[in-house]
Amino acid sequence: MSRKDTIFVNREAGEPLPETGTDWAAVNAMTEEEIQRGLDADPDANPITDEDIASGRVRPAVNVKRLRESLGLTQDEFAGRYRIPVGTLRDWEQRRKRPDAPARAYLEVIARDPKQVAELLAA
């Protein structure tokens, strides 16, 4: 999907959501058991196990907000230090958007050695 295929809706301005054919009343009425049955039936929704992580097949996603807070940085400081647009950082932290694959890799590098990354970028 490209950016031109993305529909942006300003809910704060009262813009309505686009019609998708989704019955949101039915979705919102689902019980936890119904949700779990749906997940269990979906081969693409397999849970990540400790064994998957230990084997290196799957890595847990970096929690951007937790990473930033663990470094004791404000959003502006983190964004400036690691050259990430502050609006992008806010979108990631508020889960309006997910980092793409290169950004996830970059965040993982920051998480592993934040001081070295900052030093390399400052050089």
With a cut of 60, say whether residue 18 has pLDDT above it.
yes
Hey, what are 68's tokens? 């930033």
More confident residue, 72 or 1: 72
Q: Tens digits of per-residue pLDDT, 42-51?
A: 877 777 677 8
Query: Whole-number mean pLDDT of the chain?
Result: 85
Q: What pLDDT sits at residue 1?
A: 45
Domain range list for the chain:
23-58, 64-122
Region 67-87: mean pLDDT is 96
DSSP track, 68-112: HHHTT--HHHHHHHHT--HHHHHHHHTTSS---HHHHHHHHHHHH
Query: Please, which pLDDT band fits residue 59 given cuts at 50, 70 and 90?
Result: low
- Under CATH, which architecture does the 64-122 domain have? Orthogonal Bundle (1.10)
H or E element, residue 52: helix 50-55
With a cut of 90, say whether residue 113 has pLDDT above it.
yes
Region 70-97: mean pLDDT is 94
CA distance linking residue 117 with residue 44, whole number of Å: 34
